[in-house]
Structure 1
Amino acid sequence: MNINELINIRRHLHANPELGYNEFKTTELITEYLLKYDIQITHEFCETGVVGVISKGTSDRMIGLRADIDALPMQDRSNNPWVSLYPGIAHACGHDGHTAILLGVAQELALNCEFDGTVVLIFQPAEEGLAGARRMIENGLFEMFPCSSIYALHNWPELKVGELMTRTGPIMAAGDIFEIEICGSGGHAAQPHLTQDITLAMGEIVVMLNTVTSRALHPCEPAVITITQVECGSSHNMIPSTARIIGTARMFSPKAQDMLASRIHDVVMKIAESHGAKAHVNYIRCYPATINHIRETLLSIDAGKMSGMRTAEAGYPALTSEDFSFMLEKRPGAYVWLGSGPCAPLHHPEFDFNDDAIEHGVSWFLNVVKSELA
């Protein structure tokens, strides 16, 4: 494995990030790299993204390894020589590192590893909120490549380089979006008695939504509601006629998901009605919870130990979400956290993937392959 080459690729990707379903240059780089090692490829499942296939031996057993390749719509303030060249687009979640890791795995599998079966390398676009995994599945990924198991990793700044953690059952939360619009007559700020005060209604809704999880769910049921955008008004002397609230809800069980969707709707409608205003709630169910399977999780832990990493089962899941969940709904598999600290948190403008984690990620994937396709 040429670790310096992988680091250079990772930094090139960091400097040239692309948003979901627009990863054309990233896809071109991946394609050229795989073809260099005579790896069979297809772009059949999405316009961007690549699937590489490596077969050895005689077994018909097939496993999948997945890396996400897209960036985030945010400014890169990492201040490295390889800082993003594109304003408002940044690899602030480390998908550049995930891509480099899976390319390193591809090279090792093609040149240096013996196994019996087929490895499907899935370079997946549009993980950040656009459900690229679901699109690839709907376009026939697992019909063409019926993997018996599937694996993915995500760098995790809370863990130090050389550490790996995962757990059976839920590891990442379902991630939903809600959009709220409140409408009233509006009017002069000095005559609130002649208007429906949309600003006041909006403020009450924001406060009350932050009480929903603690009052609607069992205290031992993990969930969170977070307001992320509030839009209202354009002048100091005018009560606006519309207001908009956007946020996210995270949970692990379908029952909790149904309860939060219902309670958010009820809170918004009742508060708006109390102000004589009208409201509309658009609740969007985005990603299901990421649920690890028992056998594949235990195999992943063993692969971490084989790689020489400090490996443990996580005591609790994270409330962040992940569209690898769609793949785990279709195939047994596991998702792990790969230590990448010290570095800035994920989705932070100063985040930069820790290159010291690349070798550990490659080693873990290779040991998964050795365990599955011995």
Structure 2
Amino acid sequence: MNVIDSIVTQAASIAAVRRDIHAHPELCFEEVRTADVVAHKLTEWGIPIHRGLGKTGVVGIVKGRDGGASGRAIGLRADMDALPMQEFNTFAHASQHHGKMHACGHDGHTAMLLAAAQHFAKHRNFDGTVYLIFQPAEEGGGGARVMMEDGLFEQFPMQAVFGMHNWPGMKAGQFAVSPGPVMASSNEFKITIRGKGSHAAMPHMGIDPVPVACQMVQAFQNIISRNKKPVDAGVISVTMIHTGEATNVVPDSCELQGTVRTFTIEVLDMIERRMKQVAEHTCAAHEATCEFEFVRNYPPTVNSQAEAEFARKVMQGIVGEANVVPQEPTMGAEDFAFMLQAKPGAYCFIANGDGTHRDMGHGGGPCTLHNPSYDFNDDLIPLGATYWVRLAEEWLAAARA
């Protein structure tokens, strides 16, 4: 494993920053303290910063040997926000804020990019510019989109942008990256079925929305099995059904809510169109009506071919070919997708291990993402930072050639 010695030397101090951030989690668009920590460190190392994009975002600007004269630039992105959940861990750096937790490793993502920033500040072994993007509000807030709307790519023009996420369950010391879709689109729906209430002993006097809802839920699965190509991925999950207040009353209405996940916009368009048709026609067949709402949150995360292959070669130079594995697509979602819609780039996974790295006092649950017993593996900091450094150096060198 070819990690950079100077990053290894500073890894303990960066890990201390990571644990401080973990102990003080902040939710989307509330990352004021976290942004202050990031800004303070970058400034301490002599890196100019810009604050305020996406409300709490921080961008560090590192010019290379040429002072950035080449005009070539690369963006490296880390997310900073935590989740609204209670931590079960009781070790020293556990969350000090009730109902808030870094259960997805964004504290570690921030730490890895800070470690790379510290190295860049001392060793500007490249021509061009590296933009360090510390993004707020990945967990449902669409912070990437908001930073872009605030002018991220106009104020900091770059030819490519890269992101990285820790991945529990993979053997520590490995990376995964592949071209094409690697994370799904995230979408929500709410369908309100309007019937006519009645006494439950006299259902013929009303229009019962409950059997309408049951038929609708079943019919949605036919969209997946019969309207979509078998080789195309798609999920419709009805996760909430709300109706009724008494056992002897047929309710006036029934509400269905859930999520849709796809790897392509074309499949998403089809699913939304067919769900609306199924909902409206099922209701019409039972003399009911409905209100259909469909909200598209995050698009699919799609790695561009050239950048994914470039990232793979960089990883292989660090950990060897055997430790760079194909990136199995997941139906989880990621707002880095917005950046990849605007710029070429790649989103990779860095293995977080099996959880045995956790300190005494960790919760009894598994070390998986969005789990109250999760903790980031600090051993990844030198490895992740080395990847960021080598990726930027080699990408800018290749661009110059």
TM range, smaller chain: over 0.9
Aligned-partner Cα distance in 1 for 2:289–2:153: 45
1:369 maps to a residue whose letter is: A
TM-score calculated relative to the size of structure 1: 0.94
C-alpha change, 1:81 and 1:185, in structure 2 (3 Å) is farther
**Native 8 Å contact 1:184 1:195 kept in 2:** yes
C-alpha change, 1:202 and 1:11, in structure 2 (3 Å) is farther
Q: CA offsets, 1:275-298, max 9 Å, x none?
A: 332211111122222121222112
Structure 1 residue aligned with 2:395 = 372
Aligned-partner Cα distance in 2 for 1:176–1:119: 33
Structure 2 residue aligned with 1:57 = 65
Deviation at 1:167, TM superposition (A): 0.6
Unpaired segments of 5 or more residues in structure 1?
Answer: none
Deviates more, 1:107-116 or 1:211-220: 107-116
Aligned-partner Cα distance in 2 for 1:278–1:349: 41
1:48 maps to a residue whose letter is: T
Structure 1 residue aligned with 2:347 = 335
Structure 2 residue aligned with 1:348 = 371
C-alpha change, 1:81 and 1:199, in structure 2 (3 Å) is farther
Unpaired segments of 5 or more residues in structure 2?
Answer: 1-6, 356-366
Structure 1 residue aligned with 2:362 = none
1:339 maps to a residue whose letter is: A
- 1:1-374 alignment, distance < 5 Å: 1=7, 2-58=10-66, 59-308=70-319, 310-314=322-326, 316-343=328-355, 344-374=367-397
Aligned-partner Cα distance in 2 for 1:190–1:99: 60
Aligned-partner Cα distance in 2 for 1:186–1:82: 54
TM-score calculated relative to the size of structure 2: 0.88
Aligned-partner Cα distance in 2 for 1:243–1:28: 46
Deviation at 1:41, TM superposition (A): 0.6
RMSD of aligned Cα (Å) = 1.9
C-alpha change, 1:37 and 1:349, in structure 2 (3 Å) is same
Deviation at 1:157, TM superposition (A): 1.2
Aligned-partner Cα distance in 1 for 2:372–2:199: 40
Looking at secondary structure, tell me which structure has more strand per residue: 1
**Native 8 Å contact 2:327 2:349 kept in 1:** no
1:277 maps to a residue whose letter is: A
Deviation at 1:327, TM superposition (A): 1.0
**Native 8 Å contact 1:299 1:371 kept in 2:** no
Count of matched residue pairs: 374
Partner of 1:210, secondary structure, is helix
Aligned-partner Cα distance in 1 for 2:47–2:280: 56
**Native 8 Å contact 1:301 1:311 kept in 2:** no
Aligned-partner Cα distance in 1 for 2:297–2:261: 10
2:351 maps to a residue whose letter is: G
Aligned-partner Cα distance in 1 for 2:238–2:380: 33
Deviation at 1:316, TM superposition (A): 4.3
Deviates more, 1:206-215 or 1:127-136: 206-215
**Native 8 Å contact 2:182 2:327 kept in 1:** no
